[in-house]
């Protein structure tokens, strides 16, 4: 067992805006994330915020720090205001959800009311994954058909 397994894990709160002119949007997200923590009795959390960075970018300073903390076993739950604040790309979101699942890290999206610790959250994640897989297979089949 790693030395991090005995350390107390915290909840990661992730907020992002696309432009630095959306500072009030960042503040509003953080208020909503803190309110969620208050309502669910979460007292140990760390806020990761990327201000003025597109969600289309898979690599962002705060997001990268958070994912390293997830991989280092410091995080037990990631909470976002909405899926779009985490990623604009379904592929990027699904990759992150797979990482979270493999490391037993819960994922919560407040706006979509999705929590991967609940049966409904697991079902929604499974449906999103299945649709993504179907789309990938369709693209592969189309590519094979076009190349013949």
Residues annotated as part of the active site: 18
Determine the distance from the C-alpha atom of residue 64 to the mean position of all C-alpha atoms in its chain, rounded to a whole number.
12
- Sequence-ordered list of residues with C-beta below 8 angstroms from that of 121, at least 6 positions apart, any chain: 107, 108, 114, 115
Q: CA-CA distance, 27 to 23, in Å (whole number)?
A: 6
74 burial via Cβ count (<10 Å: 0-12, 13-18, 19+): middle
Angle at 65 between CA 115 and CA 73, to 5 degrees: 60
């Amino acid at each position: 067992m790693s030395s991090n397994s005995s350390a107390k894990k915290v909840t990661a709160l992730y907020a992002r805006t696309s432009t630095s002119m959306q500072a009030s949007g960042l503040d509003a997200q953080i208020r909503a994330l803190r309110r969620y923590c208050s309502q669910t009795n979460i007292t140990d959390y760390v806020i990761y915020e990327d201000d003025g960075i597109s969600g289309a970018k898979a690599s962002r300073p705060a997001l990268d720090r958070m994912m390293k903390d997830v991989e280092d076993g410091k995080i037990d739950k990631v909470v976002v205001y909405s899926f779009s604040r985490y990623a604009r790309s379904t592929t990027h979101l699904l990759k992150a959800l797979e990482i979270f699942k493999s490391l037993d890290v819960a994922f919560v999206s407040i706006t979509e009311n999705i929590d991967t610790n609940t049966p409904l959250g697991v079902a929604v994640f499974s449906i999103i994954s299945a649709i993504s897989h179907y789309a990938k297979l369709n693209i592969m089949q189309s590519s094979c058909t076009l190349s013949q």
